[in-house]
Every structure is written in structure tokens, then in C-alpha cells.
Structure 1
């Protein structure tokens, strides 16, 4: 467990948030390219792809550090629904529609790693999870040579119940220690069949960022940051496990009434 605290950033609106998120993501990109000439990032669904597109497709400031070098990105999914890739519930489709199809040609195209569409209709999503774990092994190294994959950045959302990825409050998957990718057949949110990165993989990333916006999030944010009873929520467990590696990007409405200290810029 990490003994350090996450960083909570709050902005007056999503435009200001997106501007700072761009700086943060590109700082992570540049550090990753210096390390191993590729940027391995995992993203979730919800409202995140829309905010991410607003951040990354905005005009840059002209400096070399402020360019998204998409041709060097490997994009994975922090969780995915067991649906065809063109289904409205697909996180892949959401990211494709919001961001991937809008990337200017001069920035290059990222390598995107969706789930295996041949197995989305299986009765049990375990095969889907196993195949995605094999894809991670192919990119990060065999599972017998590394205990966990190390993402350069994982970008997450937070549900009104405190869930993140497809890790839900009180679910047995929160105790999974060995698998990199887990299957879930009983998601409390539809669709019920999904795959998700496990908690140890999320907290092992070099950096983790949450994006949470809107006043509908303020009650769960108070629980996550201020309340003892919120410590068992999945998003809280990420905070505890990754500590200062975690940065939350919120608008003022989402953190109204939260007493945890927040910052206005990176």
C-alpha cells in the first residue's frame, strides 16, 4: 500500500480541465518516449474519451513538447464490454468515434488493441479476458518474466457508485491478485459481461489519472476523499494503492463540499 496521497486538481469548467489534462498526458507521453520510445496507455469509457479528445485535438502551443506523437502510442482498454466493436456499448467504438477517427494525419495513427471480436458472444467472457491478457503479454513481456505489466499511464473514470474500470464496490474481483485481466459476468451496470484490468495492474502503472466532472459526482467524491466508509470503494483503493502516482482532474461541481485539499493547476 502506498503511504502518500493522490493529487486532486479542480478547474472551473471542462475547457480548463482539458487544457491541463493535455499538459499532463503529453508530459507522460514524453517521459515514456524517453524511456522506451513508445507510450503505453490504457483508457476507459464513459465521458473520458470526449474529454480526452477535447484535450488532445486542441491546437498546440507550437513547442515540440506539446505535440501528441500518436504514431508512438499503444492504446489499450482498461475495461471493455463483451459486445461487438461497432456496438453502442463498446468502449472501443466510443474512443474511435470521439478521438481516433479525428486525429489529423500528420500526427500519425496509434496502435490500438481492442478485444477479440470473435469471442464477444461467448456464454462466459473468461476467454475474452484470457485473450486480452495474452495480448498484454505480447506487448509487455511474458507473464513468467514480469509479475505485472507497467503501463505508462492509465486514464480512468469514476462512476457515481465509486466504481472504476469494471471493478465494482464489494465485488470479489477487487481481491484478484494474480490475473492481469479478469472477466465479469454479473456487472451491476449493463451490459453484464465485461473484462477489466485488475486492481494490482492499475496501481502498478507509472501514473494513473481520473477524470470526474459534474455535480452528480460530488456525493461520491466526498465519500472517496473525506469519508472513512468510502475507503473500500474501488476508486479509493486505487488512491490507496498508487498514492501520489494518482491525479484526479475534476471540475468545481464534482468536488463541491469536498474538504480534501485541491490544486488549481499542475
Structure 2
């Protein structure tokens, strides 16, 4: 039982899920500061940045509840091979929903974006982004995998996360840190993504999945053999209790997997 992921289901996103997500992220931040005085986090796009911004930009309630963006290093769990100003760019989304809303009296986190020089070649872009990780996390030959302090991910209706899609050959990659994909089932086709081993190596992993549109896939992921082989299911299986799911009741309706009360 100790290896199982944590499933949280909240009555209301803004009043219940958001403050619990804040506590989860700030606990990870404070633990990371004790370890190495920096907080390295990888984020996805989708609906996550908006929920994350609500959590992180809420007023502080005390010493343990302070966000210190000056020591944050933000990476992308996946990114599309498009300009940073393009509608499909995860960076543009994160910038608009979160970074641009950080008040002027707070520091800005350091953000590692893709290099737009490689938009035409996803493989080159993946290699260049991996070099950036190597420079931050240590020399490639001394560290088998980078260890993010926290990964904040979403769950697609097909059970994909990052740009790791069901039954895709990329799921079998064991060595590379950053992978390229040229045939994404979701447009745009060309993307880069963290590999599954990098996701599993994270100190903590948080999924945010809300709304009734997620209940079928969550039921599959948490309750079926097939679901455990989907990318989100593989993260649950491989990282166990390091994984926490932040959901609302609409997303967990009919899911029999045991819920936890709250982080707070």
C-alpha cells in the first residue's frame, strides 16, 4: 500500500483544490531549499498553468507559506516546436497565465525555454534542451538522470502526459533525458518531451486533473490493467507514493480508488 499514489478529490477547485496544491508545491519548495537552496520544477501546459497561478499568487499566511521565486528554476516537461509567441507554445501559455501575473514586488523565476533556432528539427531541439539540463543538473557522465524537485503535469483524455502518448515507442526510451516526437497524435506534430525515466526520477510529481471530462480516463488509469500501461498509469506504477493527484469531484466521480482527505 505504501507504494500507491495519493489521490485527492476536492469539492471545489478554487476554494479547496487550489490551497491544497499551494501547500503541496510550497512543501516541495521548502524541502528543496534545505537540500540545495534552489527549487527545480518542470511544468506542463494545458489547464495546469491557470490553476498553478491561482495557487502560487495567493496571499501568504505565514513563514512556511512564502513563495520565493528568486530561487526557482522552471523547465518545460514538454514543448511544441513553434515560436515562443505562437498560440501552441507552452511557454506562451505559462507566461500569460502565470509569469506575467507575478506582482512586481516578487522576484521572477529563472525560466528555461526552448531555443527557437531549432524549430524545424525536433531532434536538434531535444538535444539542445537536454544540454541545458546537463549544464544545470551536472555533467552527463556523473548523473544518470536529472532529479527535478517537483514535476507538475496534466492528464490528457487518452491518458497521455508530457508529450508521451499511449503505445508510442518513446515510452520505451531508457537513456535519453529529452526526446523528440515528429508524429504527435495531437497537433502540432513536432514536439520535445522529458522521457519517462526523467519523470519517474522526480522527488515529487503532481498531477492536476479537473472536470467531468476526466472521469472516464481516471477510472481507467486507477482501476484497470490497460490503464496502468497508459503514460499516466506508468507514472503511478513507477513512482508510487511520490505521485499526488489533485482532482475535483467531477473528475473522480465513480473512481473507487481510495482518496486522501487533504494536504493541509
Fold conserved (TM > 0.5)? yes
User: What residue ranges of structure 1 are gaps of 5+ in the alignment?
Assistant: none
C-alpha change, 1:3 and 1:264, in structure 2 (3 Å) is: closer
Q: Secondary structure at the match of 2:244?
A: strand
CA distance in 1 between partners of 2:162 and 2:197 (Å): 12
CA distance in 2 between partners of 1:31 and 1:229 (Å): 35
Q: Secondary structure at the match of 2:192?
A: strand
Q: Is the 8 A contact 1:3 1:240 kept in 2?
A: no
Asked if 1:159 is matched to 2:150, the reply is no
Kindly state the Cα deviation for residue 236 of structure 1 after the two structures are TM-superposed. 0.3
**Per-residue displacement from partner, 1:132-191 (whole Å, max 9, x unpaired)?**
000000100111110000000000000000000000000000000010000000000000
CA distance in 1 between partners of 2:33 and 2:185 (Å): 38
CA distance in 2 between partners of 1:19 and 1:248 (Å): 14
Q: Secondary structure at the match of 1:8?
A: strand
State how 1:36-47 maps to structure 2 within 5 Å.
36-47=36-47
CA distance in 2 between partners of 1:107 and 1:252 (Å): 33
CA distance in 1 between partners of 2:188 and 2:55 (Å): 28
Asked if 1:64 is matched to 2:63, the reply is yes
Which residue, 137, 140, 144 being the options, matches 1:140? 137
Kindly state the Cα deviation for residue 264 of structure 1 after the two structures are TM-superposed. 2.5
Partner of residue 107, structure 1: 106
Give the TM-score normalised by structure 2: 0.98
Asked if 1:86 is matched to 2:82, the reply is no
Partner of residue 175, structure 2: 178
Instruction: Name whichever of 102-111 and 160-169 sits farther off.
Output: 102-111
Q: Secondary structure at the match of 2:95?
A: helix
Asked if 1:264 is matched to 2:261, the reply is yes
C-alpha change, 1:3 and 1:66, in structure 2 (3 Å) is: closer
Query: What RMSD, in angstroms, separates the aligned Cα atoms of the two structures?
Result: 1.0
Kindly state the Cα deviation for residue 107 of structure 1 after the two structures are TM-superposed. 2.1
Q: Is the 8 A contact 1:218 1:256 kept in 2?
A: yes
Q: Secondary structure at the match of 1:182?
A: strand
Q: Secondary structure at the match of 2:226?
A: helix
CA distance in 1 between partners of 2:91 and 2:261 (Å): 31
Q: Secondary structure at the match of 1:59?
A: coil
Q: Secondary structure at the match of 1:228?
A: coil
User: What residue ranges of structure 2 are gaps of 5+ in the alignment?
Assistant: none
Partner of residue 26, structure 2: 26
Partner of residue 13, structure 1: 12
Asked if 1:194 is matched to 2:184, the reply is no
Q: Secondary structure at the match of 1:107?
A: coil
Q: Secondary structure at the match of 1:106?
A: coil
Kindly state the Cα deviation for residue 41 of structure 1 after the two structures are TM-superposed. 0.2
Partner of residue 218, structure 2: 221
Instruction: Name whichever of 77-86 and 10-19 sits farther off.
Output: 10-19
Give the TM-score normalised by structure 1: 0.97
Kindly state the Cα deviation for residue 59 of structure 1 after the two structures are TM-superposed. 1.2
Q: Is the 8 A contact 1:79 1:195 kept in 2?
A: yes
Q: Secondary structure at the match of 1:53?
A: helix
